[in-house]
Amino acid sequence: MALQSLDIAKRSATTTEPPQARKTPQVAKLIDVSQCIGCKACQVACMQWNDLRDEVGNCAGTYDNPRDLTDQSWTVMRYAEVETDRGLEWLIRKDGCMHCEDPGCLKACPSPGAIVKYSNGIVDFHQENCIGCGYCVTGCPFNVPRISKKDSKAYKCTLCSDRVAVGLEPACVKVCPTGCISFGSKEDMQERADERVAELKERGFTNAGLYDPAGVGGTHVMYVLHHADKPGLYSGLPADPAISPTVSLWKGVTKPLAMAGIAAAALGGLFHYVMKGPNDVSKEIEAEVDKELEGEK
């Protein structure tokens, strides 16, 4: 959704500088996984606020429902039963867009303005500019964007950019009954996380910590994890996410190099023609051939 009340700090397929005069505080959503009871109130709030209705799926033997993110489900709870040194644990993670400071989706997108990052850090998809190529899926280190089967546009969590722009917290934050999700400036959220991590450590979760991965420049959705040393336990949360080197190469040096190569070939041809002249048939050979033809007659 295009929202003019937030400045745009980064814009897909745009090579010039974004507006920077105004300074906006960086925002973040903090999800304290250790307090989540898996009630899915946040999933419901997301559906309601964003007018989304996924198809009714079927049960695969776990509480995961729907089983994956879709164009209609921008957040899903993932339930993992894992054995740790504390015995059997049920780890529930609210999955969705992490709102990366350095978003791989935005880097990969070929359509100007289909993906933007607002100056407060929220990464948003503007479907009216989306061409449906799916490059954002290729670029995202968290496997988040989904292309709709209906309209071939890419969708994902907006961090309720429309609510945040008018001073409200995201819908999921508002409904969470345990207070496991909080929203505010990134600094405040980091402080809050530090306090919570200290508490958890006191209670024996010695590896508790904040998930704010540096590989993508930090994220504007952060987790407090009781096992921050093993993020993979939480239904495959990547330990050290970063934009894949293949994507960086594809979207990095390849572009100027390719453009220079193509321009050099075209200009090389022109200047070769101008400087060396065309490769004409020589008069000698023309005369020889004429003679041969005379002989035939």
Partner 1 sequence: MIRDPSDLQRYTASERANHWVVGICFILLGLSGLALFHPALFPLTYLFGGGTWTRILHPFIGVVMMLFFVVMFFRFQHLNRMTDTDWQWVRRAREMVNGDDHNMPIQGKYNGGQKLLFWFLALAMVVLFASGIVIWRAYFSAYFGIGTIRLAALLHAGFATLMIIAIIVHVYAAIWVRGTIRAMLYGTVTRAWAKQHHRAWYRQMTGK
Q: Is 133 in the site for ligand HEM (CB under 6 A)?
A: yes
Q: Please give the residues from 254 up to 273 whose contact with partner 1 meets the rule CB under 8 A.
A: 254-255, 257-259, 261-262, 265-266, 269, 272-273
Residue of 177, 73, 161 lying closest to 117 (CA atoms):
161
Q: How many C-beta neighbours within 10 Å does residue 184 have?
A: 17
CA angle 32, 107, 238 (to 5 degrees): 35
Candidates 119, 129, 158, 161: give the one binding partner 1 (CB under 8 A): 129
Q: Please give the residues from 99 up to 128 whose contact with ligand HEM meets the rule CB under 6 A.
A: 110
Give least dist CB 231 to partner 1, A. Answer: 18
Q: How far apart are CA 56 and CA 229, in angstroms?
A: 36
Q: Is 131 in the site for partner 1 (CB under 8 A)?
A: yes
Q: How many C-beta neighbours within 10 Å does residue 155 have?
A: 23
Give least dist CB 129 to ligand SF4, A. Answer: 7
- Tell me how far CA of residue 27 lies from CA of 35, 69, 82, 157, in angstroms: 21, 23, 32, 15
Candidates 3, 7, 10, 13: give the one binding partner 1 (CB under 8 A): 13
> Do 52 and 74 form a contact (C-beta atoms < 8 A)?
yes
* Binding string, residues 174-213; x marks residues near partner 1 by CB under 8 A: ----------------------------------------
By rule CB under 8 A, what count of residues binds partner 1? Answer: 47
**Sites of contact with ligand HEM (CB under 6 A):** 110, 133
